Structure 1
C-alpha cells in the first residue's frame, strides 16, 4: 500500500491532509470509521486484508423514513417489542474482512445481540434490542463503517435488490461488438483488392479496436475482478487463465494496429468474451430452473391443525393457511404464521428465530410471531397473514442449527480446479516457449488457445448441477432435503438407526384397548384436553379414539420427554405416560406398548396399543441389512421385542427404554468408532439424536413435525422407498465422478490441438462454453434417467 493511500479504503489521500494515529485518510468519514474500530478494539479488521473498507457516504437525513412505525413493521422479520430482527442487503460485502466486521457488530454496539452474514446473497441478519437501539440508528451505524444497506421502499421489502441485469447488458455489448468486428474483418479474410488496402484498412482496424474496448473493459470485467481478488488472496482461481488470455490478445492486437503489423485478433477477442458470457448466461438460467428452493416451497409438507367454524379439526398444509383461519398449536409445535392468541396460555420459545433460549409468556390478545415454539400445552390462534414459505425455508436453514458436516465433494472440486489452473498455466508457458523458437507466428495463438480451451469450468459445474437436479427429483418424490451436502453425507452412511413409535409404526392403523377403572365424563374430558396438547404419536392416536368432550382450558400443562404428560384443571390433576411416571410400581411387562393414567394420584388403568407396522417394513430392513448396520432405539418398554425379532432380520440391534439423551450418546459413541449414522425419527423426542447424527431424517404424517434439527423430511407414505432414496444419493456421486472423467478427456483432446497450434482462440472460445453446456446436459439427463424408476 502506498504511503499516500487511505489506510481505510485505499483511495488517494495525498491532498486531504487528514491523519490520525499516524495513518493517512482520504476523508473524515474513513477517519471516523478507523476511530470507531480503534475505540472498540477491532483494528484487526485491517489485518485480514489491506484497505478493505469503503468510503462512508453522507447519510444525514437519508434514513428519516425509518422513524415511521408502519414502514419499520413491514421491514422487520421479527418484533416482540424488545427484540427485533432484520435482514439487510449490503452491496459492499466482498471479502473476509467484511464478513468479520459484520459478524462482530455486537462489539460496536452493546444492543446488538447477534449478526450473521450470508456472503453469497450479500446480506446480514441482525438481532438487536430495540429499546436501546432503533432501526434507524442501526442502519446509520452500518453506513458510518462503510456498509450502507440497500433498502427498497417500492414494496417495503428489504434484502431484495433490483434484478441484476448486468450479465445481459455485458452479453449484449459483447455480441454487438463481435458481430461488427467480424463484419469489418471480412475484407482481410477474403483478401479484397487494392481499394480496401489503400483507402479503408486503417479506419476498419481502428473501428475494430474501438468496438473491442468496451468488451474488454466492461463485458469481461468480472473475470478480471475475480482473478485479481483470487491472486490478492494467493489463490489461483479458474478466471486467472481467462483474464490472462484476454489481456494478451488485447495488448498484442493493439500493438499490431499501432505499428501497422496486421489487423490483430480483435475478432477472436470479442468472440471469446461473447461465447464465455453466453455459456455463463446459460448456466445461470439452467441452475435457476433447477432451483431447489422453488420446488421446496411447492412441496414442503409441514402440517398444522385448523379448527373449522363447527369446531371440528382438520390437518392442512401450511401453505393452505389463510388470513382469519383459527389454528390449534400443540405442545412443542412451531407457530407457522404471525397470529393473535385467542385461547390458552402461551409460553413461547423464540430460539428458532433469535438463537436465545429464554421463553416468553403471552396472554389472550397478544401477537405471536412465526417461528416461535409453544411449550405449555395447546393454544388456539387467529391468523393475521398467510404463511411465507420462504420464511420457513430460512428458519430450517438458520445458522443457529448448522453443524460442521463436511462438504467432501465440494472441496474436491475446488482442489481439482486449483491444481488444474496451475497445470494449465505451466503447459501454456512451455508450449509458447517452444513455438517462439519453432514458429513465432503461432506462439500467441497457442498461448491463448491453451488458456481458454482447458478452463476447468466444466469441473466446477458438475457437482452443483447434479445435486440441484437430484434435490428437485427427490422433492417431487416427497423426500425433502435441506441442501446439497445432505446428498453427499447420505451417500457415505454405513449405519441406520430408527426410532420405533411414529417412525416404523403407522399411527393411523394402531388399535387400542383400555383396561382398568371406568373414567368419569369429567376425567375423560380432562384426559382428552390433556392429550390434545401433545404431538407424541401415542397421544395423537389416543386423542382420536376418545369420544367428543368439551375442551377444557388447562391451568397447567407439562410434558416430560420420554416419561409422559401431567396437567391440572381446577383441583384435579392427571398424569398420562409410563407406569412409574403415573405411580404404578406393580406393572408387569407386557408384549405391547402401554400408556397408563392416574388422576389425583389414584391409578386408573392403562391403554394398550397394538402396533401396526408400516407397509413394506420387513422387506425394507432385509434390503438395508445387506449394506448397512441397523438398530432400533425405542423409548418404550420391551413389549414389542418378540414381534420385532420375528419381523426384522437377525442381528438387528433392538434397544428399549431409551431416553432422548441415551439415543444421542449411543450415536455419539458409534461415531467415534467410525460409524456414519443416519438417524430416522419422528422429530419430537429425537431432536438431539437427529442433530448429532451425520444425517437426520424426520418422518412426516399429518401433524407438524417441523424440526430445525433434521436434515431431511420423508413423507410417511414413502417410508418403504428409503433404500431407493439412499441409492439415488450414491448415484449422484457416481454421476459427478463420470462428469470429472468426461471433462478430463475433453481437456486432454483440446490441449493436444491447442499445443500443436491447430486451434485458433475463437474456436477455443466456442468450444469452452460448449464443454460446460455438455457437462450440464450430461448430469441433468443422466440423473433423470437413473432416477426415473423412483416411486
Structure 2
C-alpha cells in the first residue's frame, strides 16, 4: 500500500501567509502553501498579474484554512440592507465602504487598490489604511454588493459588516485591553506587597517565609506573562512574520527575558527575581497605551462627527425657508436646494425637476435628470431651478469630508519634509537592539551584574511613539480649534500650506461686501407687483450674493420658474409665468456694454430691457481692521467682476498699496492666480465659491466664504463662516505657530530618548522606572502639544 506524502511534516512556511506547512500536498510551482485556500489566492493573483503583492512584503497574506460559508453574505441582497450600506447608486455606479480588520501592510494596500484587475465589475477602490476601510465603486450590472464582499473574503479580507455600527457613535476602547490592564494591575500590586521582605531584608529565621512569597510572586506573574502581555507578543509576531521589527518587539523581549531570569532565580533559590519589574512594565505600558488610544480616538471622532462644514441648507418650515446647519437636519425635513447647491443628505425629490451633477461623488460631470418621487443622493449638486428634497437618511458629515478629500479635488502634494521621521520609525528598533547588544558585551566583561538591568532598561526606555505621533496629535487639535471658531479645513495638510502663504487675494462681492446690508434701487421702467414677484422668483433660484439680496428685497410673492440657467460671471435666465426673464450684466441682458458706475444688475422681460437694479455696497465693518492686520505680513489683492466705480472706496478701506483689478471674469481670476504662482508666491484665494471656483482650485489655499448658505465647492481647501472672516489673521498665526510646536515636540522626544538611553546604558536605571518613564514621555509630549496649541489659541483669543 503506497504511503501518502500528505502526512510528512515539513519545516517550510506558507508562501502566502507565512504559517507553518504541515503537508506538501498544496505545493505549486515549487512554492509551499499551508492550505488549498492560500494556494487558490496565489493562483488568482498570478492569473491577474498581481504577484507584486508578494514582492512588497514576505508572506503578506491572510491564512485561508477557515473557509467562509457560501451564503454568509446573502443578506446583502436585501434592499433595506443595501440602502443602509450604499452611499450612491445609478445604472453605472454603486458606491459603498467596507471595514477590513485584516488589513495590515503595504501588500494589502497594493492588492486592495488593484481589485479591478481581478473583477472587471470593480470600477475603482480607495483605501484608508489608518481606518482599515476601503471605498469601493462597482458596476452594478457586473458586480453586486454581495459579489464584492465575497471577492474580498476570497482573497483574505473578509469585511466586517454590522448594521448597528453604521450609526455615528463615539468610539470605545477595546475591552480586552482593559481586562488585561486590570489583571496586570492586580498582580503588580500584590507582587509589590509580597516583595517587601526582599526590599527590607529578613532574618535567617524568616527565610522559609521569604521562599513562600517568592513562589507566590512567581504564580502571580504567570497571568501577566501569558495574558496581559499578549498585545506586545501579537504585535511583535506580526512584524517578525514580515521580516521587520516594530517598537513592541523590544518590550516583548524585555518581558520574556525578565520572567525567565526571575524564574531561574526562584527555582534555583538564588534570589527573588524581578517579577515586580516585569509586571510593572506590562501594567504601565498598557495604561499608557489605553490612554494614548483613547486620546487619539477622541480626536478622530471630533474631526469626523462633531466638527461640521460651516454651511447651512434651507429647510422648509411653515411655508418659509429657514437656514439650518447640517448637524441639525433630521429625517423627515424638507430641504430647499437652489442652483449650484450641494445636496447634503439622501432624500426623495418632492418638488421641481432635478438636474444633478454627481461629479463630487462619481467624477462624472454630466447632469443626471431626476423626477419627483425618485431618490437623490448626498454629494450631488443641483444645476437647475429650485427643488425640494425629503430627507430619508441623515447627514453623514464624515462621508462629505471623505468625498472632499478625493484625489480629484486635492492639489498636487508637496515633497515630504519630514523624511527623517520616516527613517527613524523604520530603523529605530534595529538601533535599539544594536545599542543593547553593545551594552551587554561591554558590561559582560566589565561588571556582569549590570548586564541584566542595563539591557532590560534599554529595551523599555527607548520609544519613538511621541516623536512619530506628535505631528498627528498637534494637527488634530489645531483642526478642532479652527473648526470650533468657524474655519473648516479639508485635511491636516492644509494647516502647513496656510502657514507658508505670502499673498492673499480677495474676491469683492460676497467676501468684502455684506449681502445683508445692501441698499437696492431700481432705475428704469416702473415694475408691476407681478413683475417684481417674477424677479424675486428667478433670483431665489441662484446662490450668488447679489441674487440672494435681490430675492430678499423683492419679496412680493413667489412664482414657478422653468428652464432656469445660470452663467457664472454673466447672469441668470428662466421662464416665469410664461415670460422669459434675464438678470445679469449689461452684455448678458442687452447684448452690449453700457457705461455706468456702481454695481448694476440689468433686467429684461421677453427680451425687452426694463432697466437695472443699482446695489450700493456696504462693506463688512471688520474689513479695515483685517487689512491693517494682514498688510504688514502679506501682499493683498482684490478681484472684482464689477466696473471700477468702487476703486476709491476700496483704496480708502485697504490702502494705496493693495492691488485692485476690476472687470474680472472667472477665467481672468484663474489667470491672475497662475501669474502670482509663477512669480514664486504662495497664494491664498478668498471667495464665495461661485464665480471663482477655478481660482480657488488653482490657488495654494482656496478659502470659500459661507454666510448661512450652501455654496460649498470641492475646489476649495477650506470653508470659513462669514462671521469668522475678521479672525483670519489669527487663524494664519495659529497655523504658523503649529509648525513650531511640532518641531519643539520632535526635539523634546529626541532629547528624552538620548537622556533615557544614557542612563540605561550605564545600568543605573531600574527596569520598573523605565516602564513608568516610557509611557509617561509619550503622554507628556501629547499633553505638551495639546497644551501649547490650546494656550496659543487662547492667546490669539480663539
**TM-score, normalised relative to structure 1:** 0.91
Counterpart in the other structure of 2:274: 265
Residue 290 of structure 2 aligns with which residue?
A: 281
State the match for 1:318 in structure 2: 326
Partner of 1:714: 720
Partner of 1:348: 356
SS in 2 for 1:642: helix
From 602, 612, 615, the counterpart of 1:606 = 612
2:539, 2:666 → 1: CA distance?
Answer: 21
Which stretch has the larger CA shift, 246-255 or 538-547?
246-255
Match of 1:66 in 2: 76
Q: Which position in structure 1 is the counterpart of 2:744?
A: 738
Spell out the pairing of 1:621-700 with structure 2 (5 A cutoff).
Answer: 621-700=627-706
Look up the SS of the partner of 1:114 in the other structure. strand
Q: Could you tell me how far 1:330 is from its partner in structure 2? A: 0.5
Equivalent residue for 2:124?
114
CA contact (8 A) 1:300 1:480 kept: yes
Once the 2 structures are TM-superposed, how far is the Cα of residue 534 of structure 1 from its aligned partner? Answer: 0.7
Match of 1:476 in 2: 484
* CA distance in structure 2 between the partners assigned to 1:746 and 1:473 by the alignment: 28
* Conserved? CA contact 1:306–1:327, under 8 Å: yes
CA distance in structure 2 between the aligned counterparts of 1:29 and 1:289, rounded to whole angstroms: 39
SS at 1:690 equivalent: helix
Closer, same or farther in 2 for the Cα pair 1:279/1:346, shift >3 Å?
same
Deviates more, 1:463-472 or 1:761-770: 463-472
User: How many residues are matched?
Assistant: 786
- Rounded to whole Å, the distance in 1 between the matches of 2:15 and 2:240 is 21
Structure 1 residue 346, shift from structure 2 partner: 0.3
Q: Secondary structure at the match of 1:757?
A: coil
Distance in 2 between residues matched to 1:702 and 1:410, nearest whole Å: 39
- SS at the partner of 1:24? coil
Aligned-CA RMSD value: 3.1
Stretch moving more, 608-617 or 347-356: 347-356
User: What SS class does the counterpart of residue 119 from structure 2 fall into?
Assistant: coil
C-alpha distance in structure 2 between counterparts of 1:492 and 1:581, whole Å? 40
Counterpart residue number, 1:580: 587
1:601 is displaced (CA, Å) by 3.0
Q: Pick closer, same or farther for the CA change 1:335–1:145 going to 2, 3 Å.
A: same
SS in 1 for 2:474: helix
Question: What are the equivalent positions in structure 2 for 1:159-308 lying under 5 Å apart?
Answer: 164-194=174-204, 197=207, 201=211, 205=214, 208-216=217-225, 218-226=227-235, 238-257=247-266, 261-291=270-300, 293=302, 297=306, 300-308=309-317
Measured after TM superposition, the shift of residue 522 of structure 1 is: 4.8
Shift in Å, 1:224: 4.8
Once residues 766 and 541 of structure 2 are traced to their aligned partners in structure 1, the CA distance between those partners, rounded to angstroms, is 73
Does residue 530 of structure 1 match 2:538?
yes
Summarize the alignment of residues 539-550 of structure 1 with structure 2, pairs less than 5 Å apart: 539-550=547-558
Provide Cα deviations, 1:250-275, integer angstroms capped at 9, x if missing partner.
Answer: 44445545655543323212211211
Structure 2 CA distance for partners of 1:70 and 1:82, relative to 1, 3 Å? farther
Cα shift readout 1:684-703 (whole Å, capped 9, x = no counterpart): 23333323333222211111
Q: Matches of residues 78-157 of structure 1 in structure 2 within 5 Å? A: 78-80=88-90, 83-154=93-164
TM-score (structure 2 length as normaliser): 0.90
Over 3 Å counting, the alpha-carbon distance change for 1:161 and 1:628 in structure 2 is closer
Aligned runs of 1:317-466 on 2, under 5 Å?
Answer: 317-406=325-414, 413-415=421-423, 417=425, 424-466=432-474
* Equivalent residue, structure 2, for 1:774: 780
Deviations 1:211-230 (A, max 9, x none): 44553454344445555666
Q: 1:493 aligns with which of 492, 498, 501?
A: 501
> Is the CA contact (8 Å cut-off) linking 2:14 and 2:34 kept in structure 1?
yes
Cα distance, 1:546 vs. partner?
1.1
Distance 2:769 2:427 in 1: 25
Please name the residue that 2:517 is paired with. Answer: 509
Larger CA deviation: 240-249 vs 452-461: 240-249
Alpha-carbon separation, structure 2, partners of 1:664 and 1:226: 50
CA contact (8 A) 1:469 1:780 kept: yes
1:160-183 deviation digits (Å, cap 9, x = unpaired): 999632322332232233234334
The answer for the alignment partner of 2:565 in structure 1 is 558
Give 1:119 shift. Answer: 1.0
TM-aligned CA distance change 1:562 to 1:37, over 3 Å:
same
Deviations 1:135-162 (A, max 9, x none): 2222111111111111225567799999
Contact 2:113–2:126, Cα closer than 8 Å, also in 1: yes
C-alpha spacing 1:607/1:415, structure 2 compared with 1 (3 Å): farther
Q: Is the 2:569–2:691 contact (alpha carbons within 8 Å) kept by the matching residues of 1?
A: yes
CA distance in 2, matches of 1:749, 1:97: 37
Shift of 1:347: 0.7
8 A contact 1:596–1:606 mirrored in 2: yes
Q: Could you list the per-position Cα deviations for residues 261-318 of structure 1 after superposition, in whole angstroms to 9, with x for gaps in the alignment?
A: 5433232122112111111222223334445635863554321112233x32222222
Tell me, in whole angstroms, the C-alpha distance in 1 between the residues paired with 2:592 and 2:132: 60
- Whether the 8 Å contact between 1:632 and 1:655 is mirrored in structure 2 is yes
- Give 1:459 shift: 2.4
Distance change >3 Å, CA 17–CA 207, structure 1 → 2: farther
Higher alpha-carbon deviation: 40-49 or 242-251 = 242-251
